């Protein structure tokens, strides 16, 4: 029960950071959506207007992240003995899917606009307000990316890290829109095709970002083992703990920001239960110091003279 309380205390502190960060992003995205749509209409910029409509999807993403963060913050209970960290992982996966859908939509619209421009259609020249709002949006979104990435690294939240990249993708999308708006304003009619071309380029980058976020989320949902370098660090901690003769059957996985380690350790067969328990507690403490928050399941066995650590057997 003490372990559950410790995990829940850590989860509660992290969850407050995550909810605060998500609310900041949600507030900014609502304001930016309204600002872009208004400036797109007043500034005669279909690109900024479309970007504003696209920004509405950001508020949906914000709400999704916030809901998942609230669920993951409930910690350990009788039903969720490993906590609810997978809700964060699910949020990261769903965000990557949203990014794929958005990227495909941007690419499709861009290709259609290029085809239309090649067939002689001329777009209206946007007004200065559209350009100004686009610049403001890029600055705010880049700021949100840096803020959210910092919080994600600080808390180890996979949802916030994915959310940060979503802000970066939005900043890049708006920057590409700005290129088209600036070209339409200052380079003449024939250069207005820069807008859809830039949008296509950004859609490819967004697809790459979606892959970078989606792959680790899928691996975690499938309970892929921790990276080999982390398993080596775990092995070093275990073998370096006084009283441990050998170990085997090491299994690892992630559960949100929590690492889960299952392992069988071998100790002197004549050792008392109390002493062997002290050894397992020391292993847990050392793993937490080495890797951060770790949930350990350690099975103790008597040592019968084997001199090799049989990992993952």
| Residue 3 pLDDT exceeds 80 | no
User: What is the predicted pLDDT for the residue at 154?
Assistant: 80
3-state secondary structure of 206: helix
The confidence score (pLDDT) of residue 212 equals 83
Question: Has residue 136 got a pLDDT over 70?
Answer: yes
Rounded distance, CA 259 to CA 297, Å?
Answer: 11
Instruction: Find the range with the poorest average confidence among 106-115, 134-143, 230-239, 279-288.
Output: 106-115
pTM of the model: 0.62
Highest mean pLDDT among 106-110, 170-174, 264-268: 264-268
pLDDT band at 80 (very low <50, low <70, confident <90, very high): low
* pLDDT 10s digits, 4-13: 455 444 455 5
Q: For residue 9, what pLDDT is reported?
A: 47
Mean pLDDT value across residues 202-226:
81
Higher-pLDDT residue of 268 and 74 is 268
Contact 16, 299 (CB under 8 A): no
Work out the average pLDDT over 140-169: 84
Q: How many Å is the maximal CA-CA distance in the chain?
A: 89
Digit-coded pLDDT (tens) for 223-245: 778 889 999 999 999 999 999 99
Contact indicator for 252, 233 with CB cutoff of 8 Å: no
Name, of 1-5, 179-183, 256-260, 269-273, the range with top average pLDDT.
Answer: 269-273
Min mean pLDDT across 59-73, 80-94, 104-118 is at 59-73
Q: Which H/E stretch holds residue 255?
A: strand 246-255
Instruction: Note the pLDDT of residue 110.
Output: 78
Instruction: Report the pLDDT value the prediction gives residue 313, as an integer from 0 to 100.
Output: 47
**Cα–Cα distance for residue pair 243/267, rounded to 1 Å:** 6
The H-assigned helical ranges of 43-127 are: 46-72, 86-118
The residue-averaged pLDDT of 286-311 equals 77
pLDDT at residue 293 greater than cutoff 50: yes
Residue range 202-231: average pLDDT?
83
Lowest model confidence (mean pLDDT) among 13-17, 38-42, 144-148, 167-171: 13-17
Report residue 308: phi and psi, to 5°.
Answer: -125, 145
Other Cβ atoms within 10 Å of 179 Cβ, number: 18
Of residues 29 and 209, more confidence is placed in 29
Give the mean model confidence (pLDDT) for residues 254-269. 85
pLDDT, residue 15, reads: 64
* Residue ranges of domains in the chain, CATH in brackets: 2-221 (1.20.1510.10), 228-303 (3.30.70.1350)
pLDDT band (50, 70, 90) for residue 75: low
Locate tokens 């691996």: which residue? Answer: 219
């Amino acid at each position: 029960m003490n372990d559950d309380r410790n995990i829940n205390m850590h989860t509660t502190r992290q969850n407050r950071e995550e909810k605060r960060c998500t609310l900041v992003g949600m507030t900014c995205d609502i304001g930016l959506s309204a600002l872009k749509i208004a400036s797109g209409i007043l500034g005669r910029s279909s690109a900024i207007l479309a970007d504003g409509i696209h920004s509405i999807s950001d508020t949906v993403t914000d709400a999704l992240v916030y809901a998942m963060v609230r669920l993951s913050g409930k910690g350990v209970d009788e039903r969720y003995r490993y906590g609810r960290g997978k809700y964060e992982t699910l949020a990261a996966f769903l965000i990557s899917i949203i990014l794929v859908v958005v990227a495909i939509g941007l690419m499709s619209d861009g290709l259609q606009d290029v085809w239309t421009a090649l067939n002689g259609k001329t777009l209206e020249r946007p007004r200065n307000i559209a350009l100004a709002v686009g610049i403001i949006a890029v600055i705010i979104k880049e700021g949100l990316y840096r803020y959210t990435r910092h919080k994600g690294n600080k808390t180890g939240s996979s949802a916030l890290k994915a959310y940060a990249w979503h802000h970066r993708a939005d900043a890049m999308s708006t920057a590409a829109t700005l290129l088209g708006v600036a070209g339409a304003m200052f380079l003449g009619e024939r250069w207005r095709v820069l807008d859809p071309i830039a949008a296509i380029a950004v859609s490819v980058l967004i697809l790459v970002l979606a892959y970078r976020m989606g792959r680790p989320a899928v691996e975690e949902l499938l309970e892929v083992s921790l990276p080999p370098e982390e398993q080596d660090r775990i092995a070093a901690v275990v073998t370096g703990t006084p009283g441990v003769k050998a170990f085997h059957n090491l299994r690892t996985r992630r559960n949100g920001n929590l690492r889960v380690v299952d392992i069988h350790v071998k100790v002197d067969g004549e050792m008392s239960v109390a002493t062997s328990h002290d050894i397992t507690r020391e292993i847990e403490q050392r793993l937490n110091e080495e890797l951060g928050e770790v949930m350990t399941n350690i099975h103790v066995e008597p040592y019968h003279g084997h001199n090799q650590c049989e990992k993952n057997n």
